[in-house]
Amino acid sequence: MKAMVVDDSRAIRMILNRTLSDLGFEVVQAASGNEALSMLPTQGEQLSLILVDWNMPGISGLDFVRQVRCNPALASVALVMVTTETEIEQMMTALEAGANEYVMKPFTREIIADKLHLLGLVEQVAR
């Protein structure tokens, strides 16, 4: 399976890359929503999962989610918002825009694995 990590923080991209790799994903990375959108024509149909930050320069993660959800070819891609936004209203907005799950930073490997298990992308990870 292939995943994309979209976050302007290099450190977060590296952490998520390692976590997803450990869970069996091939990972591609983008440092912004605009960069990720430019990668979708060549990568999009291979992706099972996109983890996206909300607050980034250029287009926000929320706008990225909305644009991905407008593309029928990407309808089956699971979208997980990974963000510092902790208000319940923000979570509802993201889910209404088309995110499948919502993870608040800081997160653990177990939280990511649990969310991916809920989405049917990985087996339950032993603790």
Domains and CATH numbers, the chain: 2-118 (3.40.50.2300)
Kindly tell me if the per-residue pLDDT of 117 is higher than 70.
yes
Rg (CA), the chain: 13
pLDDT of 44 reads 84
The predicted pLDDT at position 62 comes to: 96
pLDDT of residue 103 exceeding 90: yes
Record the tokens describing residue 114, joined without a space: 């649990």
pLDDT score for 127: 59
Encode pLDDT of 57-102 as tens digits: 999 999 999 999 999 999 999 999 999 988 999 999 999 999 999 9
Q: Give the pLDDT confidence of 12-59 residue by residue, as tens digits.
A: 999 999 999 999 999 999 999 999 999 999 998 899 999 999 999 999
Nearest to 62 by CA among 54, 70, 71: 54
